[in-house]
């Protein structure tokens, strides 16, 4: 059965965040490890647009998180936590965050995009042109790179999709090249 059908069945053909029934799509919660049902949610276009466009949030729309944060599905909880963290300056979202509990792995997944960090504490990753890189972006290598610890050479022009960020060092990202996950220095990539 397709992921879309499984999510429709799981969600009752409703957005798992706001319960809307129109314009539903599969939304993959980045960064993913295996992909699939456990790392995706069914969401409406309104929620997806506001998730993907920080600063464009309708605060009243997100009151729905009061319910969705208690979902039995981890991916829904993670997105709820991220949106509450983004909106916490309004007051009520912080109260809801304080009620949530995650194990270490789930909290790491929720924090992987940098939501919830104060702007001055956020590590910002930039490509060779100074463009800000985000989790899940695609980049292209701008020079041949020898991979330490192997005989592999990642060739210039190789596209690396669905990158992950090192949240302690702004110079490092991770991505798969030829099926192998490698660490790449940001000065050698350009965002696609």
pLDDT confidence of residue 127: 92
Tell me the C-alpha distance between 89 and 84, whole Å: 9
φ, ψ of residue 62 to 5 degrees: the values are -80, 5
Residue 130 belongs to a domain: no
**How far is 192 from 188, CA to CA, in rounded Å?**
13
The answer to whether position 168 is within a domain reads yes
Q: Is residue 153 a part of any domain in this protein? A: yes
pLDDT at position 142: 94
Closest CA to 113 of 177, 9, 31, 56: 31
Residue 29 within any structural domain of the chain: yes
The phi and psi torsions of 98 (rounded to 5 degrees) equal -60, -20
Residues 44, 101, single domain; the answer is: yes
In the DSSP assignment, the letter for residue 66 is H
Q: What's phi and psi for 108, nearest 5 deg?
A: -60, -40
- Domain of residue 34 covers 3-111
Q: Are residues 81 and 144 in the same domain?
A: no
Same domain, 106 and 172: no
28 shares its domain with 78: yes
For residue 31, cis peptide bond before it (omega within 30 degrees of 0): yes
Give the pLDDT of residue 121: 61
What is the tens place of the pLDDT at every residue in 145-171? 988 888 889 999 999 988 888 877 889
Question: Within the chain, which residues score under 50 in pLDDT?
Answer: none
Within-domain flag for 119: no
The answer to whether residue 131 sits within a structural domain is no
The predicted model scores a pTM of 0.66
Is 170 among the domain residues? Answer: yes
So what's the pLDDT on residue 181?
87
Q: Given 64, 94, 111, which residue is the final one in a domain?
A: 111
CA-to-CA distance for 52 and 111, rounded, in angstroms? Answer: 15
pLDDT of residue 135: 82
Domain count, the chain: 2
């Amino acid at each position: 059965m397709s992921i879309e059908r499984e999510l429709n069945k799981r969600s009752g053909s409703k957005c798992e965040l706001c319960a809307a029934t129109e314009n539903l799509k599969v939304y993959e919660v980045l960064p993913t490890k295996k992909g699939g049902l456990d790392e995706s949610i069914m969401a409406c276009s309104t929620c997806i647009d506001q998730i993907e466009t920080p600063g464009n949030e309708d605060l009243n729309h997100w009151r729905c998180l009061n319910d969705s944060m208690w979902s039995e599905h981890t991916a829904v909880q993670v997105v709820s936590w991220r949106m509450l963290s983004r909106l916490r300056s309004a007051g009520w979202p912080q109260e809801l965050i304080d009620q949530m509990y995650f194990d270490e792995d789930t909290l790491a997944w929720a924090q992987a995009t940098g939501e919830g960090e104060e702007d001055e504490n956020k590590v910002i990753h930039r490509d060779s042109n100074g463009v800000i890189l985000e989790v899940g972006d695609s980049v292209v290598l701008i020079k041949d790179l020898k991979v330490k610890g192997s005989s592999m050479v990642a060739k210039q022009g190789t596209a690396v999709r669905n990158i992950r960020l090192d949240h302690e060092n702004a110079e490092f990202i991770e991505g798969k090249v030829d099926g192998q996950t490698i660490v790449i220095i940001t000065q050698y990539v350009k965002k696609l």
